[in-house]
Amino acid sequence: RISSTLEEALSTQMNVELFQSHTYLSYGIWATDQGYDGIGNFLLRHSLEERNHAIKFMQYILNRGGKPRVMALEAPGHDPQSLQNCFNLVFKHEVDNTEKIYNLVNMALEEKDWATWNFLQWFVKEQIEEETLAMDLIDKLKIAGGDRATDESLLYLDRELGTAPDDA
């Protein structure tokens, strides 16, 4: 059975993933309301991915004989002020999350809980992908001209993200 320390820490992370999902949902709503339907769709799909991450934590804790606890979610922070701000915020959320995952890996290592260590490797890989994806968004917007991008280049970016392939 998983230790109560790890059970608690993984359960907290399940709630962190739910909060990420909540936050991306709010960004998706914001982008759609701004008229960027493709970017909004991309963010809403990302919100679902984060929910799937929460479910992965939930399932793992249950499989190891623990019981995760669903906590009250904080309201996401205020809406992004621009697309650039939005993508920067996405990047920051992912970097913060990577740190949380690394902390968990460290805890599993200290306890020599190799099953948990192994479970977390999926998230280590996923965080690399998500940070790259977020940096990619920032780069694409920069190429399009940042906050001074023309409507035409934003429309192109919007279309591209609306149909970008889904991750896990």
Handedness of CA 55, 60, 65, 66 (dihedral sign): negative
DSSP 11-53: HHHHHHHHHHHHHHHHHHHHHHHTT-HHHHHHHHHHHHHHHHH
The site string for ligand OFO over 71-110 (x = CB under 6 A, - otherwise) reads -----------------------x--x-------------
Amino acid at 40: G
CB of 155 to ligand OFO, least distance (A): 27
Q: How far apart are CA 40 and CA 36, in angstroms?
A: 6
The answer to the question of whether 152 is labelled as a binding residue is no
The answer to the question of whether 22 is labelled as a binding residue is no
Whole-Å CA distances, 1 to 5, 57, 112: 12, 15, 13
Residue 130 or 158: the one with the smaller Cβ distance to ligand OFO is 130
The site string for ligand OFO over 107-146 (x = CB under 6 A, - otherwise) reads ----------------x--x---x----------------
Q: What is the DSSP letter of 64?
A: T
**57 is a site residue for ligand OFO (CB under 6 A):** no
Residue 113 or 130: the one with the smaller Cβ distance to ligand OFO is 130
| Tally of CB atoms within 10 A around 10 | 23
**11 is a site residue for ligand OFO (CB under 6 A):** no
CB of 74 to ligand OFO, least distance (A): 17
List of residues contacting ligand OFO (CB under 6 A):
17, 20, 50, 53, 94, 97, 123, 126, 130
